Amino acid sequence: MRDLKFEQKRSLSRLEAADQLTALAAALREGEDAEVELGPGTLSLRIPDDLRSEIEIEIGNGEIELEIEFTWPTAPVRTTPSRMATATEKATERKNPPAEPGRSSTAAKRSKSAKRPAPKTP
């Protein structure tokens, strides 16, 4: 059973169809909480960054049918760092410990190396 289904069937001119697709494209580009004007009403959608798509073309009975379908989960998808990424981050932290407060990491490295005398100015 579906939580909600909206379906609209009507005749459009080619320009009206292009305007409808342009509005949908703008909503997809905007993402997050997007609004699409559909005839007399407005459809509000929460659109994530990643979608699945399906394009279907059927030719038969003297008609061409073009379907463009986008699907995404209704609940936000939580991503957790993989074990490999976490291990890599920890190894990087061990190699490059944070600099002492008030000193840049370059200054900390320089203080460990032999100090050079300042060049003489003429």
pTM of the model: 0.53
What is the arithmetic mean of pLDDT over 54-70?
95
* pLDDT, position 74: 84
Alpha-carbon Rg of the chain, whole angstroms? 29
Is 97 a residue whose pLDDT tops 80? no
* pLDDT, position 56: 97
Which is more confidently placed, 9 or 103? 9
* pLDDT, position 118: 60
User: In sequence order, which ranges of the chain are alpha helices (DSSP H)?
Assistant: 14-30, 83-95, 105-112
Measured CA distances, 15 to 8, 39, 50, 109 (Å): 17, 14, 29, 65
Q: How far apart are CA 68 and CA 53, in angstroms?
A: 7
Cα 15 from chain centroid (whole Å):
30
Is 62 a residue whose pLDDT tops 90? yes
* pLDDT, position 94: 57
Give the three-class secondary structure for 42. strand
Q: How far apart are CA 8 and CA 121, in angstroms?
A: 81
Report pLDDT digits (tens) over 18-55. 988 898 888 888 888 888 777 777 888 888 999 999 99
